[in-house]
Amino acid sequence: MRASQFLIATVKETPADAEVISHQLMLRAGLIRKLASGLYTWLPMGLKTLRKVEKIIREELDASGAQELLMPAIQPAELWQESGRWEQYGPELLRLKDRHQRDFCVGPTHEEVITDLVRNQLKSYKQLPANFYQIQTKFRDEIRPRFGVMRSREFVMKDGYSFHINQESLQKTYDDYFNAYVRIFDRLNLDYRPVIADNGSIGGTGSHEFHVLAASGEDDIAFSDSSDYAANVEMAEAVAPKAAPDAPTEEMRLVDTPNAKTIAALVEQHNLPIEKTIKTLMVKASDEVDSDIVALLVRGDHELNEIKAEKQPEVASPLTMATEEEIRDIVGASPGSLGPVNLPMPIVIDRAVACSSDFGAGANIDGKHYFGINWERDLPTPRVADLRNVQVGDPSPDGKGTLNIRRGIEVGHIFQLGLKYSEAMNATVLDENGKAVPMTMGCYGIGVTRVVAAAIEQNHDENGIIWPESLAPFTVALVPLNYDKSDDVKALSDKLYSELKAKGVDVLLDDRKERPGVKFADMELTGIPHRLVISDRGIAAGQLEYKGRRDAEASDLPLDNAVAALISKLGQ
């Protein structure tokens, strides 16, 4: 490609509304332009990269046995009513009516459409497993789009769906997808981790997210320092610090704590170690228990994990904190003086609380706490559960090493759906006995547009993007100086350009009538991995200047062997 015939829409100034580096660089390098909140045009330079991501995904999925198809972006409401999600999905689902006043939505995902297709096409267990994917534009009306294409409303997603006669078959395809994702993200040169993820309300039996590690990520990932254990903090198991509490050494006593309404104040004013304090959180109860609210106890230095809390049978879903009035009605004290002693409601305690001894907690009397509380001696041990977020330094749940926590950008998610959609939508096949059975399903997503942003978060410097070759819009930039004035420079540049093109190298010839500084800055900003400078000076010396995008200094290639020497540098 000649730069004079290609839109190079670089800008010097950083756009005011771009927060994260990838968003800033995608705008500055001329990859995207905003149309409206959460809606972006992909300019030619950005689309080249997007297509390279798609190509890698296609190659690996095709090799793993998935078949590509393409479904409509607009979907009829009937299918969503069948699955129950027309009511469940909420305002993120963009709904619209056609000229006949029939209801439709713009697809945020395609479980309903693929399930409808498969139930109509596949009738026998002999046709399973079936495994389809598409790369297609989705729309989710996000509460708050941000970070450019990282969280946009319209985005390109690879979504795959598989159908099986049993769990064993699903597990095999699930593993195939897992391995294909590993190959895809390896080829994309991303620093990523597959992590154990929440199954969400869908249930099912297994789920992994693939996270690119980056400070701007919106999820916390916990991973072991000495094994490959990694999990979303939402899911990471917090193991008990020890098997049982120590024997009591203190008497339980009622202490006046008029100014200690928070754990921090309690610790500061009463010389209590924070790990000897207990937080009592009150949430709405489910129908399972004979109470309006339930108490959840975590240690003062720990945080409640809302996902784990919501899974407790005593707790109403979605998790809702009790109001101050509700607490006062039942307990007769304010938040800030709550604790397990004499508490008239069901209690669930975290594992770390269960092995605490001589601890302090509210007395359920305003301005008073009990200190020196011990389970069994002072009150029965309530039901124990894993309720808290893991923290840095916690032991890894697999028993190997301790946990670190870093931010991650979710770029992929694989999910065992089980029978959720096939039962709701009556998607069955006949088994060996001629009996209709619902198909077991899996679904598998990659945020294609988000991958581009995530890659920039990991690969940039003060001069711009640093593309790995697998993602670069162009592999090589030819930068001639005085292309329009020097016949020698022009002849050599054109010759190199056609030779590299003939070898299949994706090359950009910067034949623009610009000063050298402009060309250098643009080639660096847009992140092209290899650069050759063609100048009269170099020609006279019999050399071409080469610089890799990550190199500190340029080096020289012999002129008579330049193409071969350059090609030997590619793919390293």
Partner RNA sequence: CGGAGUAUAGCGCAGCCUGGUAGCGCAUCUGCUUUGGGAGCAGAGGGUCGUAGGUUCGAAUCCUACUACUCCGACCA
Q: How many CB atoms lie within 10 A of CB 324?
A: 12
Residue 146 engages RNA in binding (rule: CB under 7 A): yes
CA distance 528 to 506: 10
Cβ-Cβ contacts under 8 Å for 546 (sequence gap 6 or more): 530, 531, 532, 554, 555, 556, 557, 565, 566, 569
DSSP-assigned beta bridge partners for residue 362? 369
- The reply to whether 281 sits near RNA by the rule CB under 7 A is yes
- Between 41 and 262, CB nearer to RNA: 262
User: Which residue of 303, 310, 378, 494 would you call a contact of RNA, by CB under 7 A?
Assistant: 303
- Candidates 72-80, 81-89, 299-307, 446-454 — which segment interacts with RNA by CB under 7 A? 299-307
Residues 6+ apart with CB under 8 A from 382: 297, 340, 346, 347, 348, 349
Q: How far, CA to CA in Å, does 8 sit from each of 137, 169, 464, 473, 518?
A: 25, 49, 14, 12, 12
- Can residue 236 be called a binding residue for RNA (CB under 7 A)? no
Closest distance to RNA from the beta carbon of 531 (Å): 8
Q: Which of 3, 446, 533, 566 binds RNA (CB under 7 A)?
A: 533
Q: What are the residues facing 207 on neighbouring strands?
A: 415
274 lies in the binding site for RNA (CB under 7 A): no
Q: Does 538 bind RNA (CB under 7 A)?
A: yes
Closer to RNA by CB, 259 or 463: give it: 463
Residue 185 CB, shortest distance to RNA, in Å, is: 26
Site for RNA in 329-368 (CB under 7 A): 335-338, 362
Burial code (b: 16+ CB inside 10 Å, e: under 16) for 498-508 equals ebbeeeebbbb
CB of 513 to RNA, least distance (A): 8
Cβ 16 to RNA, closest distance in Å?
Answer: 4
User: 3-state class of 67 per DSSP?
Assistant: strand
Taking CB under 7 A as the criterion, the residue among 469, 516, 567, 570 binding RNA is 516
Find the shortest distance in angstroms from Cβ 334 to RNA. Answer: 8
Contact call for residue 428 and RNA (CB under 7 A): no
Determine the interface stretch with RNA among 40-48, 56-64, 191-199, 301-309 (rule: CB under 7 A). Answer: 301-309
CB 422 within 8 A of CB 143: no
Give the binding range for RNA (CB under 7 A) out of 16-24, 66-74, 155-163, 442-450: 16-24
- Which string of b and e fits 330-349 if b means at least 16 CB within 10 Å? bbebbbbbbbbbebebbbbb
Choices 73-81, 167-175, 500-508, 517-525 (CB under 7 A): range interacting with RNA? 517-525
| Residue 520 sits in the site that holds RNA (CB under 7 A) | yes
Q: What is the CA radius of gyration of the chain?
A: 30
Tokens 């400078």 -> residue = 533
Residues 469-508, interacting with RNA (CB under 7 A):
481-482, 485
Contacts to RNA from residues 249-268, by CB under 7 A? 261-264
Could you list the beta-strand ranges (E) of 311-435.
347-350, 359-365, 368-373, 383-385, 403-418, 428-430
Facing residues of 359 across strands?
Answer: 373
Cβ at position 544, least distance to RNA in Å: 8
Q: Does 202 bind RNA (CB under 7 A)?
A: no
Q: Strand ranges (DSSP E) for 98-229?
A: 103-106, 130-139, 154-164, 192-196, 207-213, 219-224
Size of the site for RNA (CB under 7 A): 61
Nearest to 325 by CA among 292, 290, 286, 369: 292
Site residues, RNA (CB under 7 A) = 10-13, 15-17, 19, 28, 34, 36-38, 143-147, 261-264, 279-283, 303-304, 306, 321-322, 324, 327, 335-338, 362, 389, 463-464, 481-482, 485, 515-518, 520-522, 524-525, 533, 535, 537-538, 545, 547, 554
